[in-house]
Amino acid sequence: MVAAAAALFILGGLFAWVIRGVGLSNAMMALLMSFMILSMALLLLFSAGALLLVLTLYKGREAFFLWRMRGLIVKVIYPLTLFLGSLLRISREKIQESFVEVNNQLVRSRKIKVKHDRLLLLMPHCIQYNECRTRVTGDIRNCERCGRCKIPDLIKLSEQYGLDIYVATGGTLARRLIEEKKPQAVVAVACRRDLTSGIADSYPLPVIGILNERPYGPCINTVFDLQKVKDAIRFFVVPDPIGEEPIAAASTLKHSGRP
């Protein structure tokens, strides 16, 4: 706040000095011209970024230096789109879904490969059947494998690939796990809000996000496409062990609750 106030004071003093030197009308004209030039430069920048984005999504591979502009898309264009969407009454969820899809395609354009022990799987706690007698609170392998949710499938998948999998109780804890484990890539299942904020907060870490569905409402018995999780793992992990013997290294299967 102090720095911002000091900057405004300096700019105000500079503007007053310019007015005294060239006159108010000339100063206003110069300010207007500067604003127009800056606006045109920003417009050209966003137009170039949009063009490269379209090329990447169309070709399915990285176009020029677009990967380096991913930060601009994540940190600037997405928040700006949310703001404009609120003014134009565009569904926030639609914008979030589009952001996740664009992010996934940008990540896939890089052909990133990591070892199985450097890939982190993050799952939301709401994928467990809410009336299950055994809560997976400490070890996901406590699952009774009744078949009412997809946790048994995730256990099998993580064992097959030798992956670390964590069931987090919220976006804050998921981000903490990323900071602690320091993976090279992440596959995450979450709701629109947690997924978009998680992708933005974990940048530049490559994250493939998979949206869950809420047939019974938010945070209860949510479901997701298991095939999309498999595809994301196959994209990141090298070599691909599907169809071969499970990796010898034991996987870490944990449930992370609130501290």
pLDDT digits (tens, 9 = 90+) for 57-82: 555 455 445 566 677 778 877 887 78
**Strand ranges of the sheet holding 119-124, from the earlier edge strand across to the other edge:** 207-211, 185-190, 119-124, 164-168, 253-256
For the chain, the domain total comes to 2
Tell me if 151 is assigned to some domain: yes
Both 101 and 159 in one domain: the answer is no
**Res 94 pLDDT > 50:** yes
Q: Which residue has the tokens 């990447």?
A: 56
Both 241 and 119 in one domain: the answer is yes
Both 156 and 210 in one domain: the answer is yes
Cis peptide before 204 (omega within 30 of 0): yes
Both 98 and 120 in one domain: the answer is no
Structure tokens at 89: 């009454």
pLDDT digits (tens, 9 = 90+) for 123-157: 998 998 888 888 776 577 778 888 889 989 998 98
- What secondary structure letter does DSSP report for 127? G
Both 152 and 211 in one domain: the answer is yes
pLDDT digits (tens, 9 = 90+) for 204-252: 999 999 999 998 888 899 999 999 999 999 999 976 544 444 444 444 5
Both 78 and 147 in one domain: the answer is no
Structural domain harbouring 98 = 41-111
pLDDT digits (tens, 9 = 90+) for 178-203: 999 899 999 999 999 999 999 999 99
* Distance spanning both ends of the chain, measured CA to CA: 33
Tell me if 5 is assigned to some domain: no
Both 123 and 103 in one domain: the answer is no
In angstroms, what CA-CA distances link 76 with 46, 50, 53, 84, 185? 10, 13, 15, 12, 22
Domain final residue, candidates 111, 139, 160: 111
Tell me if 17 is assigned to some domain: no
For the entire predicted model, the pTM comes to 0.72
CA distance 48 to 196: 24
Q: Residues with Cβ < 8 Å from 140, sequence gap 6 or more?
A: 151, 154, 155, 165, 167, 253, 254, 255
